[in-house]
Structure 1
Amino acid sequence: MRKLVYYIASTLDGFIAGPDNSDPTGPDGFWPIPEDYIQHLIAEYPETLPAPARAALSITADGTHFDTVLEGRRSYEIGLKAGLTNAYPHLRHLVFSRTLTESPDPDVELIADDPAATVRELKQQEGKDIWLVGGAELAGALYSEIDALIVKLSPMTIGSGIPLFSHKAVFEPRTWELTDHTVLKSGAAFLTYARRTPTA
């Protein structure tokens, strides 16, 4: 069965963006992107690079991890502000929103239904794993459905900002098993965790 994977960049203090929720890796962003980080993405996760980056880097590889990407409205609007109606045209792209009534792109599916129920349906379909790109509110709504975490841990702190999960997430402590890790010379670490199955 397909898995829902929260593949996300985080600071050491657990934030995925600054307080204003703008793109931390954009032209005015604060998040450094070292060369070895980019090369690791190209080699291991090419499908997670947005279309402009793929074009600039001449990337055509489909990738081996994901064929579907899920995004919340606020996260999606970061791309819209940059002029991108679909940052991931090479993937099936679903955006969860109850306020957007018409998709800005024919290949972006708007979903107003319950995210958890939608994900449970997606898991039953054939295909590669499902990438939860963010943001924090959607991750909070899908907390109980996340099967794996891939945290791109940046060697920086920012003090405050948007956390991995919104404060609306349920209080449900769970443990995760570290199944893979890569530490780059620049200091970034790619940490892969699988959700532990509770024992009776």
Structure 2
Amino acid sequence: MRKLVYYIGVTLDGRIAGPDGQADFFPVGDEAQAASYADGVNALYPETVPAGLRTAAGLDGVPRRRFDTVLMGGATYRLAADAGLTSPYPHLRQYVVSATLAGGGAADPAVTVVPGDPVGLVRRLKREGADGALDLWLCGGGRLAGALLPEIDELVVKSYPVIAGAGLPVVDGAFDPTAFEAAERTAFPNGVTLTRLLRR
């Protein structure tokens, strides 16, 4: 069965963005460090690079390695849409879980808006793939991650060496201690640590 993988960048205090969704404060280092970091994570997860950056990253035509489907909350989708990316991941099947967007739909026919029941959606998507099928990527946000915590099989956490002080939490839900175990960890020259964790 396919896995649901929450692949996300976080600050040292567990924020995935600032209070208004900003992410421009995440440090990436100097030009050489930033390039080394981008090359490293893009080689591992090329599907996670959005449409507007794929050509510059040399990822046009690169086959999918890990994911064929992306799920995101309404706020995460709106950030992309406001930047002109109404279909931010056209190389993947795209689902937006949002009651507020459900009435008018998404601005792009390649994006499927689901008004509720994210757990039911994920369970259906997990079952439709045969053994060896690519996994599902949860790219944000924190409220959707909180709702889907029972279904998250794996975390891939990019930990940035910065404290936000306030902002959107990596998981925003009820108190539900859930154990994960580190499977591998990679440190990059810019101070970012990429950790893959499996649900216990």
TM-score by length of 2: 0.91
In the alignment, the residues of structure 1 paired with residue 109 and residue 16 of structure 2 have an alpha-carbon distance, to the nearest angstrom, of 28
> 1:141-175: CA deviations, max 9, x gaps?
11111110000011111111111011xx1211121
In the alignment, the residues of structure 2 paired with residue 73 and residue 39 of structure 1 have an alpha-carbon distance, to the nearest angstrom, of 29
Cα drift, residue 10 of structure 1: 0.3
Pairs within 5 Å for 1:111-190: 111-126=114-129, 127-166=133-172, 169-190=173-194
5+ long unaligned stretches in structure 1:
none
In the alignment, the residues of structure 2 paired with residue 176 and residue 131 of structure 1 have an alpha-carbon distance, to the nearest angstrom, of 17
Give the AA of the match of 2:85: L
The number of equivalent residue pairs is 189
In the alignment, the residues of structure 2 paired with residue 62 and residue 68 of structure 1 have an alpha-carbon distance, to the nearest angstrom, of 14
| Aligned position for 1:36 | 36
In the alignment, the residues of structure 2 paired with residue 74 and residue 119 of structure 1 have an alpha-carbon distance, to the nearest angstrom, of 19
When the two chains are superposed, the root-mean-square deviation of aligned CA atoms in Å is 1.1
In the alignment, the residues of structure 1 paired with residue 45 and residue 178 of structure 2 have an alpha-carbon distance, to the nearest angstrom, of 26
Cα drift, residue 35 of structure 1: 1.8
Cα drift, residue 79 of structure 1: 0.6
SS in 2 for 1:137: helix
Cα drift, residue 103 of structure 1: 2.1
Query: When you count helix as a share of all residues, which structure comes out higher?
Result: 2
> 1:165-189: CA deviations, max 9, x gaps?
11xx121112111111111111111
C-alpha contact (below 8 Å) 1:44/1:63 kept by paired residues: no
5+ long unaligned stretches in structure 2:
29-33
Give the AA of the match of 1:66: F
Cα drift, residue 58 of structure 1: 2.6
Cα drift, residue 46 of structure 1: 0.8
| Aligned position for 1:79 | 80
In the alignment, the residues of structure 1 paired with residue 179 and residue 57 of structure 2 have an alpha-carbon distance, to the nearest angstrom, of 37
C-alpha contact (below 8 Å) 2:154/2:197 kept by paired residues: yes
Cα drift, residue 32 of structure 1: 2.5
Cα drift, residue 125 of structure 1: 1.1
In the alignment, the residues of structure 1 paired with residue 122 and residue 148 of structure 2 have an alpha-carbon distance, to the nearest angstrom, of 8
Cα drift, residue 30 of structure 1: 1.3
In the alignment, the residues of structure 1 paired with residue 68 and residue 156 of structure 2 have an alpha-carbon distance, to the nearest angstrom, of 16
In the alignment, the residues of structure 2 paired with residue 119 and residue 64 of structure 1 have an alpha-carbon distance, to the nearest angstrom, of 20
TM-score by length of 1: 0.91
| Aligned position for 1:54 | 54
In the alignment, the residues of structure 1 paired with residue 58 and residue 181 of structure 2 have an alpha-carbon distance, to the nearest angstrom, of 35
In the alignment, the residues of structure 1 paired with residue 5 and residue 57 of structure 2 have an alpha-carbon distance, to the nearest angstrom, of 25
The list of structure 1 runs, each at least 4 consecutive aligned residues, that deviate by more than 4 angstroms after superposition, is none
